[in-house]
Structure formats: C-alpha cells, structure tokens
Amino acid sequence: MVKLCVGADDVDDLADWQARLLKKLPAPVHHTRMYPKRAEEMLKGGSIYWVIKRAIRVRQRIIDIRTIKDEEGKDMCELVFDPELVRTYAQPKRPFQGWRYLKPEEAPRDLKSGAEAVDLPADLDAALKNAGVW
C-alpha cells in the first residue's frame, strides 16, 4: 500500500510524529475511511510505503487492520504499524488522494542501514540511477 504522508518534510518528521503517538498507544496507527479489500493479503507481510515530498522514502510493516468507530459512530479503518521505519531508495510518486495498492515488483528496495541510509532527494536519486551509479 502506498500513501501520502501529508505534512511531513522528511522521514524524521514522520518518526517524530509516530514517537508522540507511541507515548499514548502501543503501536503507530493511521485512520482512513475505507477498509482495504485486500486486507488479508496485506496482513501477510505487507507494508505501507509513505510518500514524502513527492517520493516514496520509507515503509512500515502493517501488523493489523481493524474497524473502529469515529466520533459520529461511523465505521472507519485503523491501520496498525510496526514502529520500525525502514528507509527505501527514493522513488518519485505523483500526488494522489487516499491510498493505492503497490505491486511488490514496483516497490522501492530498502536502503541498508548505516552510511547507505542517506535520504537523497528523489530527482538526484533518479539521476544517479539513470547514470548507472546505482
């Protein structure tokens, strides 16, 4: 699943927001109106890929998908994530509403930890890939 991370300037912003959530909740969550039709498939090792500043930059494993009620008593979906943020190679993504399914073969690769885990701007990452640098 791929989703815009509205309001975050970088992966650190997302991490800070989720750290504040973890002070109140046992795991990071996100609420959405629609329940995914492919929920069972996503619970078998699926991740949410966060789009930050027009590029997929990080993912989180989805550990649960629940139906909850909003303040008005309407059904909503609560996505529950593993707290670990896994940085990915930046992959440009145009703006869209809601969320989209992401085919495994279209998902960006994870960055390795350490020195390789640099959050490059999407255009620089694409230029390096086109030049055959990686």
Amino acid at 108: P
Nearest-angstrom CA–CA distance, 79 and 84 = 15
Torsion of CA 33, 37, 39, 41, to 10 degrees: -160
Number of domains in the chain: 1
Q: Which domain holds residue 34?
A: 2-130
| pLDDT tens for the 134 residues of the chain, in order | 999 999 999 999 999 999 999 999 999 999 999 999 999 999 999 999 999 999 999 999 999 999 999 999 999 999 999 999 999 999 999 989 999 999 999 999 998 765 555 666 667 766 776 676 65
